[in-house]
Structure 1
Amino acid sequence: MAWENPSWGYDRLQGALANLGYSVSSSTIANILKRHGIEPAPERGNRTSWRSFLKAHWEVTAATDFFTIELWTPRGLVTYYVLFVIHLATRRVCIVGATPHPNGAFMMQIARNLTDEFGGFLKGYRYLIMDRDRKFTDGFRDALEREDVEPVRCPPRAPTCNAYAERFVRSIREECLDRMILLGERSLRRALGEHGSHYVRERNHQGVGNKLLEPTNVIAFPTELAQRRERLGGMLNFYYREAA
């Protein structure tokens, strides 16, 4: 009740419990909330405002972030910045750019690509969550707003506000990039492409009921021997049976 009704104080919670036949003092309620790390009403309301925002705009909200990867090139080791966007409701991900120089011109082109009338990943979405990294420039945010996509900047020192993007970074690192030695940009783009196809079509996602995002030829009643589809030399695997 306390989480679902952030404005309810101890007395209001006491009354709601009485409606259900429970006689509990307000001091007992205070102790229970404190023991479980739940703040009193005013503070609890502030803490749950982010959760309430996500719940209210879940279907039209995406998140974006960068991660870095080291590439071996003829010039030596070079750091590349990979930018992606994830739609919260469906977990669909778009790798929108990879560059050693994420400057203002790069970000402006990304904004145009994301909001392109024909196939832009953010078309139909209303909000884009991002941290306060300076790479998300004023020009980038202004370009999004002109296309009716509102940038939502996370509070300072609050990485959990962009938890879905952080989880994707963890996944792509653990499943793919941290296990590879990448030789140049072409190698990176191939790895990103193969992981992207696996992520969408072949990887089960706990956040959407442990299902595939795009099921293909999965049959309910097994008849043939299972087959394995390999990507990146067996680093990413998918087991399936062809539908008859």
Structure 2
Amino acid sequence: MRAHWGAIAAADFFTTEVWTWRGLVTFYTVFVIDLATRRVQVLGMTLHPDEAFMRQIVRTLTMADAEPCRVLLCDRDAKWSASVRERLEESGIRVVQTPYQSPNANAYAERFVRSIKEECLDRLIPLGEQHFRRAVTEFVAHYHRERNHQGLENALIEGTPTIAAGRVHRQQRLGGLLNYYRGAA
């Protein structure tokens, strides 16, 4: 499996309750995470994850400028229907489904869901779709550029941490919900 590590990605959904003019609604967010680099790509957010939405997800996932992925690990949720899996297979992506009720079989995706919920979405009440989208976008940027990852030997996904003697400067995202500390020059 290590020989193919760079070609494997995991996909999953998570749900978030968002306050809108219509009251509390549930948004479904689908993402993929590259197992080797831990890079996350949010593929879409919707109120109704129907077949048309999933066709768009397949198009997004198979675009030429997307991260190359030859194997996609996903659960047995009905959203990953036979036609969706078939479209992925036709575009050269082998779909491997985890056993029923086995979240540990998709541990990398489940860990990202836990991170985004515990560090961001459980600590705020998104007021509308735009606020929710901004929160997810800011968290993913924080996840890539400012958050250490134990599985990567406490490295950042993008860039390198700046180590400087002297003062420490705090950078904030989402009004201080997400913080990152850098050495000031």
Common fold by TM > 0.5: yes
Match of 1:109 in 2: 56
2:106 paired with 1:172? no
Assess if the C-alpha contact under 8 Å between 1:129 and 1:152 holds in 2: yes
Give the distance between the partners of 1:170 and 1:223, measured in 2 at CA.
34
Gaps of at least 5 residues in structure 1 are 1-53
Match of 1:214 among 132, 136, 158: 158
Q: 1-side partners of 2:98 and 2:143: how far apart?
A: 26
Write 1 or 2 for the structure with the bigger share of strand.
2
Structure 1 Cα separation of the partners of residues 156 and 166 of structure 2: 21
1:203 aligns with 2:147: yes
Is the aligned partner of 1:231 residue 2:178? no
AA aligned opposite 2:81? T
Higher RCO, 1 vs 2 (CA within 8 Å, ≥6 residues apart): 2
Moved over 6 A (4+): none
8 Å contact kept, 1:71–1:183: yes
- Contact residue 63 and residue 165 of structure 1 kept, 8 A: yes
Q: Equivalents in 2 of 1:94, 1:188: separation in Å? A: 16
- 1:87 and 1:94 map into 2 onto residues whose CA distance is 9
**Partner in structure 2 of residue 90 of structure 1:** 37
Cα deviation for residue 120 of structure 1 reads 1.7
Match of 1:241 in 2: 183
**Tell me, what secondary structure is at the counterpart of 1:139?**
helix
Which of 32, 43, 55 does residue 2 from structure 2 map onto? 55
Which runs of 5 or more residues in structure 2 are unaligned? none
Map of 2:85 onto structure 1? 141
| 1: CA distance, partners of 2:166 / 2:36 | 34
Q: CA deviation at 1:242?
A: 5.1
Cα deviation for residue 216 of structure 1 reads 4.5
TM-score computed with the length of structure 1 as normaliser: 0.73
The alignment of Structure 1 onto Structure 2 pairs a total of residues equal to: 185
Distance in 1 of aligned mates of 2:113 and 2:140: 12
Letter of the 1:111 partner, please give it.
V
Query: Could you report, residue by residue, the CA deviation over 1:5-32 in whole angstroms, capped at 9, with x for unpaired residues?
Result: xxxxxxxxxxxxxxxxxxxxxxxxxxxx
User: Match of 1:211, SS?
Assistant: coil
